[in-house]
Amino acid sequence: MIETLSLFIVILTGIYFVALAGAALFAPVQASRFLLGFAGTPLVHYVELLVRVVVGGSLVVYAPHMFSAGAFRLFGWVVLITTAVLLVLPWRWHRSFANRFVPRATRYIKAIGLCSLALGLTLLAAIIRGSAT
């Protein structure tokens, strides 16, 4: 049951990254606005942390069934550990960091889109390839 739920969440994560790539490449202004919204309010901050815990945990749980299991397990743990760090830091620090660096990063929205596309497709391919073995 938990593995099926984790699979579903990892698939949704891959689709999310592909969709973000599409937005970044074909609607960069809207994608930039979306990215700038993270950590904007305490509610958004905590929802982001919850999503990160769910995605990171799902990667850790489902990684053994994916191609390159070790890499995806490690990626899941990185997501969980960085989320734990964000959880203990005051929300205002997260917002300050985002306000400082996200606008700089969105100058490279096309590169963000290409990286997001690569990550999303890699996740989906690893699921497919892992299920084929």
Per-residue pLDDT tens digits of the chain, which is 133 residues long: 999 999 999 999 999 999 999 999 999 999 999 998 887 889 999 999 999 999 999 999 999 999 999 999 999 999 999 999 999 998 899 889 888 999 999 999 999 999 999 999 999 999 999 876 6
Phi, psi (5° rounding) for residue 127? -65, -50
pLDDT at 130: 87
pLDDT at 36: 86
CB neighbourhood size of 109 (10 A): 19
pLDDT at 40: 82
| Tokens representing residue 115 in the block | 């990286």
DSSP state of 68: T
Single pTM value for the model: 0.91
CB neighbourhood size of 67 (10 A): 17
d(CA 55, CA 124): 14
Residue 20 lies in a domain: yes
Residue 62 lies in a domain: yes
CB neighbourhood size of 98 (10 A): 19
Q: Which domain holds residue 11?
A: 2-123
- Which residues, 6 or more positions from 113, have their beta carbon under 8 angstroms from its beta carbon? 20, 21, 22, 23, 24, 25, 28, 31
What is the length of the chain? 133
Q: Indicate left, alpha or beta for 89 from its phi (over 0: left) and psi (-120 to 50: alpha).
A: beta
Residue 35 lies in a domain: yes
d(CA 129, CA 112): 25
d(CA 66, CA 119): 14
The tally of domains found in the chain comes to: 1
